[in-house]
Structure 1
Amino acid sequence: MIFADALAWLVDPVNWTGSKSIPVRVGVHLLYCLGAVLGAAAIAVPLGLYVGHTGRGGVVLVGGGNALRALPTLGLVTFLYLVAGGGAVGVLVGLVVLAVPPILAGTYAGIQDVDRGVVDAARGMGMTGAQRLWRVEVPNALPLLVGGLRNATLQVVATASVAAYVGIETLGRPLLDGLRVLDYGQFVGGAVLIALLAVVLDVLLAGLGRLVVPAGLRLRTQPGRRRSR
């Protein structure tokens, strides 16, 4: 019954027109997600590359990442929203903070996972530190780095829903409105939209990973396929 109500809410033409329609909310939700992931990547990727390449600050990095993961999502977004005096900046900063740990962990782990023998061979060939980083370590770290981006994206897609608590028209709004009036069809419909958006973005990032990750590394991460070949 609930799923029939959710389907009826999803196909209702009223919900597909106007300034608070499903397409508008999907667009706002997507905009916040992309902004948060790109902002987090701009911070976390260089930091993860530096710590992974130099080996300095690894303990601080892991501890700081765990501390950020422990922050309550709704409390952080609401606090930053109030500090920023309202508007989108506080919410976006909160989402960036929550997206940093998985990208940071993926980047750092990817660099650390590179075979030290390969790095030593590059050093023996006379490569500088920067050359080893960009020509050897980064290409080999791409699978885990892209994995960190995917994890961060999925987390942000789910977390951006809480922005509705501070009046922003994301896909969290149907969840709040549905709970307020006990309209569980609307509630489930909003949850379905969030899940579909997460799946679509994950598929797109998986395709991006296949484009940027060298084929040899993809085969290395698929032992069953490697044995069959």
Structure 2
Amino acid sequence: METAPDLSGKERSAAKRADRIRLLAQPLLVAILVAGVLLWAFSRDLTATQQGSISLSNIATLTWQHILITIAVVLIVVVIAVPLGTLLTRPGYTRLAPFFVGIANVGAAAPAIGLLVLFYLATRTTGFWIGVLPIAFYSLLPVLRNTILGYQEVDRTLIDAGRGQGMSPMTVLRRVEFPMAVPYILAGLRTSLVLAVGTATLCFLVSAGGLGILIDTGYKLRDNVTLVVGAVLAVSLALLIDWVGALAEQFLGPKGLR
């Protein structure tokens, strides 16, 4: 009697090959996009305004500002969402989960530009943190939801086995539950990274810097060269950050679950 082929095994193998190819191709695509748009821009006869806007030093400064905004957002999201998601899966606190997830849903559902403007109106100030904090609220949901889901998906028999060996609840959390939830947390973090780096292009509205300044400058001055450079660099940075998130998913999770 013939046995059916292990389609699930073949599918997993094909998925892993596709992931490896994407991990190699994505940074190459980013390099091609960045090099191509810069060569295209610098090969043209640029005006004095364009030379100031898309000089290498200005591009490097704005890119670094954009990265700093993204890093600050992600750090805030992780510091808030992971401990909160852990707490909301503990006995006695699970009934509070819908309330906090609902608040995070409000942040995710609201337009990012609306959150930035409202925060500016509430504080009557501008600057780095006025751009970072609303975006952190906007990016909170994926990590919070995936943290809760990760703990909920842990096999109860593993938890019972740990307790049967005399582990305290905190030890079970640290050595069993959290490692099993890490892949879900990393997946949520990758989504938050992409949201943060994309939304950070709006931070020019509150004088927080970033590559959105190039896009805004090009649009206001009807300067297509600056506009294209800003847009392509923003897209390239988003692809690069997504690639970093994919690497984290691939190599930071528990070895037995990769």
What TM-score bracket applies, with the shorter chain setting the length?
0.7 to 0.9
- Provide Cα deviations, 1:161-186, integer angstroms capped at 9, x if missing partner: 11112233311112112222333343
Conserved in 2, the CA contact under 8 Å of 1:36 and 1:95? yes
- 1:222 corresponds to: none
The one of 169, 185, 194 equivalent to 2:209 is: 169
The one of 238, 243, 246 equivalent to 1:198 is: 238
Is the alpha carbon distance of 1:106 and 1:152 closer, same or farther for their aligned partners in structure 2, counting shifts above 3 Å?
Answer: same
- 1:37 corresponds to: 74
- 1:153 corresponds to: 193
Conserved in 1, the CA contact under 8 Å of 2:108 and 2:137? no
1:75 equivalent to 2:114? Answer yes
- 2:41 corresponds to: 9
Distance in 2, matches of 1:11 and 1:125, equals: 69
- 1:47 corresponds to: 84
Displacement of 1:81 after TM fit? Answer: 2.6
SS in structure 2 opposite 1:126?
Answer: coil
- Provide Cα deviations, 1:69-106, integer angstroms capped at 9, x if missing partner: 11221121122234332222221211211121111112
Conserved in 2, the CA contact under 8 Å of 1:44 and 1:100? yes
- 2:128 corresponds to: 88
Conserved in 2, the CA contact under 8 Å of 1:153 and 1:201? yes
Conserved in 2, the CA contact under 8 Å of 1:6 and 1:185? no
Listed as ranges, the gaps of 5+ residues in structure 2 are 1-35
State the TM-score, normalizing by the size of structure 2. Answer: 0.75
Instruction: Provide the aligned C-alpha RMSD in A.
Output: 2.2
Distance in 1, matches of 2:185 and 2:42, equals: 36
The higher radius of gyration belongs to 2
State the TM-score, normalizing by the size of structure 1. Answer: 0.84
Conserved in 1, the CA contact under 8 Å of 2:104 and 2:137? no
SS in structure 1 opposite 2:88?
Answer: helix
- 2:62 corresponds to: 25
Displacement of 1:32 after TM fit? Answer: 0.6
Distance in 1, matches of 2:239 and 2:70, equals: 13
Distance in 1, matches of 2:228 and 2:151, equals: 41
The one of 156, 161, 186 equivalent to 1:121 is: 161
Structure 2 counterparts to residues 49-68 of structure 1, below 5 A: 49-54=86-91, 55-68=94-107
Conserved in 2, the CA contact under 8 Å of 1:175 and 1:191? yes
Distance in 2, matches of 1:46 and 1:167, equals: 31
Listed as ranges, the gaps of 5+ residues in structure 1 are 219-229
Matched residues, number: 213
SS in structure 2 opposite 1:86?
Answer: coil
Distance in 1, matches of 2:128 and 2:121, equals: 11
Distance in 1, matches of 2:208 and 2:188, equals: 27
Q: Percent identity?
A: 32
Distance in 2, matches of 1:191 and 1:110, equals: 35
